[in-house]
Amino acid sequence: MVFSQGLRAICTLGVLLGGLSGRALAATSWIVPGAVWTDTSGTKIDAHGGQVFQTGTNFYWVGAAYGDNTYPNIYSSTDLLNWEHEGYATTTVPWMYRPKMFQSGGNYYIWGQVNRDVQALKSSTPSGGFSVYGSPFTLPPDARTYSDEGVFVDDDGDAYFLTSADSNNIQVNQINGGSSISIGDRVADLEGNYEAPGMLKSDGVYYLIVSSKTGYRPNPNKSFWSTSLTGSWSGPSDIAPESTNTYNSQNTNELKITGSSVTTWIYMGDDWDADGTAAANYVWLPISIDSGSHTLTLQDYAYWRVDVNTGVVTTSTTGKRYEAHDGLVMRRGFEDSPAMYAEHKRSQAVHNIDHESNVTFTGIEGTGEPQWVSIHYTVNNATAGEAHVHVNGEKIKISDKNSRAGKFATVPVNLKLRKGADNVLTFGCDKRSENDHFEARLEGIEVIDD
């Protein structure tokens, strides 16, 4: 049942958002896959195809700024929740895709894809000031061009460069470290039509995560495993149910949190929009590793966080639920119809909500600060229209707040409600064009505490 799946993942959050003049922004307490993530100044984070690099207690998120010439863009955080914009790594190298950072010989390097070659950047600090390091290069031994690189650092500190090389093979090359770094020997070459590789290692087993090639459309991703980097690689197996298209995302990096209690690996994916623009969002989820069957499974949480000291993932908390069948159902031509209410109150959900009908919830308690509200609904056809909410009269398209709108049964949106219990929220639908048939089934909404 759709709603209980949503419930499982319900939690709290206290977040963000700009426009609170003269006041510090509230801290972000949850990672919310698919939602619009903002930095500490309230601006949407623009770091796609990226990676999080840890040094000491600081995390640096480097990714391509799709809003500005795809410069490599850097954000920093100590908790993986609140990200401060450090600025561009450099503005001398535009159109650098999928930048990845690593450290060698006391310096920091970013390797990224420019015209299907590798361009290296170097800085003495991870937060910025990168300059061009050497000429663009291809991959040894066959001078392959490539795309979609990743970087994996093994337990012994050796770093590897993961790519989708020009014949679509996943290729792994050593990175020669020290004071002058360079691309090293090829250590693995996995045939198949794959891209966007990432790697993790657990209990001595290497896992290679790849996606199929579907451009900016998400697809079901896979993992392979091997006890040696040089192979042979077994698999593939799914990392998420096929129908979810990896929760609407494509892999970009696996982040290891070595906690005092547990080591947690985090899948970092891009929730690309159809055109590959800065409107794209991010899907980060903890990975569950089954060392018996050598399979990886993404843990599908609507709200979660990881304690970066202990490695422990938290997901559960409470919220106040408003069931759709307790809302006021209105339908053009049927206003105040007792028969209509009776029909809708037979089940918990309200069905057949279309462009001429809606469900209104009154008496919703708000904090006066931006807060998370989960909207639990499904639609008949996501391309035929979309759902919206009116919040105290202001119309908000759900897809502007979360790219999971219409695709998943739980859609967290960050809304500003008035302080007190007099908020009014109306759920309704718009069809895309006159001939479209679009309708939603609303289970309810849940105002998340924090």
Interface residues toward ligand NAG, by CB under 6 A: 193-194, 212, 219-220, 222, 242, 330-332, 356-358, 381, 383-384, 390, 426, 428, 436
Report, in Å, the least distance between residue 206 CB and ligand NAG. Answer: 19
Q: Is the Cβ of residue 219 or residue 317 nearer to ligand NAG in the bound state?
A: 219
d(CA 10, CA 316): 6
* DSSP symbols for 78-131: SSSSS-EEEEES-SSS-S-EEEEEEEETTEEEEEEEETTEEEEEEESSTTS--E
Report, in Å, the least distance between residue 203 CB and ligand NAG. Answer: 25
Report, in Å, the least distance between residue 156 CB and ligand NAG. Answer: 30
| Residue 5 per-residue DSSP state | H
In angstroms, the Cα distances linking 55 to 32, 60, 77, 242, 439 are 24, 8, 11, 35, 49
Helix (H) or strand (E) holding 2: helix 2-8
Report, in Å, the least distance between residue 193 CB and ligand NAG. Answer: 6
Q: Is the Cβ of residue 105 or residue 241 nearer to ligand NAG in the bound state?
A: 241
**HEC-encoded secondary structure of 282-351:** EEEEEEEEECCCCEEEECCCCCEEECCCCCCEECCCCEEEEEHHHCEEEECCCCCCHHHHHHHHCCCCEE
Contact by Cβ (8 Å): 220, 240: yes
**What residue number has its CB nearest to ligand NAG?**
212
Tokens of 294: 């050598």
Report, in Å, the least distance between residue 45 CB and ligand NAG. Answer: 28
Q: Is the Cβ of residue 351 or residue 390 nearer to ligand NAG in the bound state?
A: 390
Q: Is the Cβ of residue 290 or residue 335 nearer to ligand NAG in the bound state?
A: 335
Report, in Å, the least distance between residue 11 CB and ligand NAG. Answer: 29
Q: Is the Cβ of residue 226 or residue 358 nearer to ligand NAG in the bound state?
A: 358
Q: Is the Cβ of residue 227 or residue 362 nearer to ligand NAG in the bound state?
A: 362
Which residues lie closer than 8 Å to 143 by C-beta, 6 or more apart? Answer: none
